[in-house]
């Protein structure tokens, strides 16, 4: 999927990659998943940054919830996953914790296809309903990162 927006706590500790694409696939013969990503660095001399990370699923939850490490999680959800997904990564997470602090959280909005087909109203409603977070929040810095990836 293609990332459209990326949100960091204010003040933002870094500028995110642009033209960012990511895929989550199930590892054959395993309960693990792999998140593969690539994007263009926002530097004066941009390069292709790519990588992958192993995801361990947490079962018994009605969203795609994964452990990235012992203390970091990633949650993926959508009312219409064939068109878009929302993603939240939270550091300093303890199992059973109900909320993540904004200072420990980043959000991403991903779409299938192009911006012409993106159901923006539904995306905004999904984000707010699940997290209470709104676009325009003074505690988050939102970056528009969508575009054609020419370096990767």
- Which pLDDT belongs to residue 39? 96
- Which pLDDT belongs to residue 63? 67
* Rounded Cα–Cα distance for residues 107 and 127 (Å): 9
115, part of any domain: yes
- Which pLDDT belongs to residue 64? 83
Q: How many domains does the chain have?
A: 1
pTM here is 0.89
Domain that holds residue 48: 2-144
Which residues contact residue 42 at a Cβ distance below 8 angstroms, ignoring those fewer than 6 apart?
A: 15, 16, 17, 18
- Which pLDDT belongs to residue 65? 83
pLDDT over 90 percentage in the chain: 69
* Rounded Cα–Cα distance for residues 31 and 63 (Å): 16
95, part of any domain: yes
125, part of any domain: yes
149, part of any domain: no
Is residue 10 within 8 Å of 106, Cβ to Cβ?
no
- Which pLDDT belongs to residue 144? 95
Which residues contact residue 86 at a Cβ distance below 8 angstroms, ignoring those fewer than 6 apart?
A: 76, 77, 78, 107, 108, 109, 110, 123, 126, 127, 130
Q: What is the CATH number for 74?
A: 2.40.128.20
Name the helix (H) or strand (E) containing 129.
helix 120-131
Per-residue pLDDT tens over the stretch 85-114: 999 999 988 777 778 889 999 999 999 988
130, part of any domain: yes
* Rounded Cα–Cα distance for residues 93 and 70 (Å): 8
- Count CB neighbours of 6 within 10 A: 24
88, part of any domain: yes
152, part of any domain: no
151, part of any domain: no
- Which pLDDT belongs to residue 30? 92
Strand partners, 51: 37
Residue numbers in the chain where pLDDT is lower than 70: 61-63
């Amino acid at each position: 999927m293609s990332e459209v927006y990326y949100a960091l706590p204010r003040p933002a500790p870094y500028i995110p990659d642009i033209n960012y694409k990511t895929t989550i696939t199930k590892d054959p013969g395993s309960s693990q998943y792999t998140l593969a990503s690539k994007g263009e660095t926002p530097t004066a001399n941009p390069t292709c940054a790519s990588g992958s990370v192993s995801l361990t699923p947490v079962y018994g939850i009605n969203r795609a919830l994964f452990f990235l490490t012992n203390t970091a999680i990633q949650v993926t959800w959508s009312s219409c996953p064939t068109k878009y997904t929302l993603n939240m990564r939270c550091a300093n997470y303890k199992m059973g914790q109900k909320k993540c602090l904004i200072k420990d959280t980043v959000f991403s909005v991903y779409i299938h296809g192009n911006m012409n087909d993106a159901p923006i109203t539904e995306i905004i409603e999904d984000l707010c309903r699940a997290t209470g977070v709104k676009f325009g929040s003074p505690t988050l810095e939102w970056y528009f990162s969508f575009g054609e990836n020419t370096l990767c």
